[in-house]
Amino acid sequence: MARLVSALVGTSLLLTVVSVSAEPFTVDCQLPFENIKKHHPIDDNCAARGEVPDPPVAANDPAHALQNQAKNNFCATGTPALVTFTSFKKLQQKLDTKVPEAKHWTRDKLPADRSVFFGIYKTSEGATSAKGLL
């Protein structure tokens, strides 16, 4: 029981600290799903850069923020690429060949330079990785 209480108190303190210093998630364009969107509490305290401090604290923070901003970019332009599970498998194989250290990237160890992702793989439709997607 003491462990449960400690865990709950610790979690509550962590959530309080996070919510005090957090930024809301905002976008600079009309969302494609604007008419069906629902507001969630996390929207008020998790910016597009995720939980990464601003300014960065840890060495991996800038790369982690870039990854989060790329995946949360709802304002990307251009023609969407048709991708399949095979596309992702081949993309991973090409990346592993081009950048062998990619096999060891983790949430806490990401590349600072995201240009290694550009043009690695071309789909059967002729699409390649684009800056806004990676």
Tokens 């439709």 belong to residue: 125
Q: Which of 61, 77, 93 is the last residue of a domain?
A: 77
| pTM listed for this prediction | 0.59
Domain that holds residue 6: 1-77
72 and 93 in a single domain? The answer is no
Nearest Cα to Cα of residue 31 among 80, 79, 75, 76: 75
Q: pLDDT tens across 57-111, in order?
A: 888 888 888 888 888 888 888 777 788 898 889 888 988 998 898 888 888 888 8
SS3 track for 36-90:
HCCCCHHHHCCECCECCCCCCCCCCHHHHHHHHHHHCCCCCCCCCCCCCHHHHHH
* 52 and 6, same domain (yes or no): yes
Burial 68-94 (b: 16+ CB within 10 A, else e): bebeeeeeeeeeeeeeeeebeebbeee
The tally of domains found in the chain comes to 2
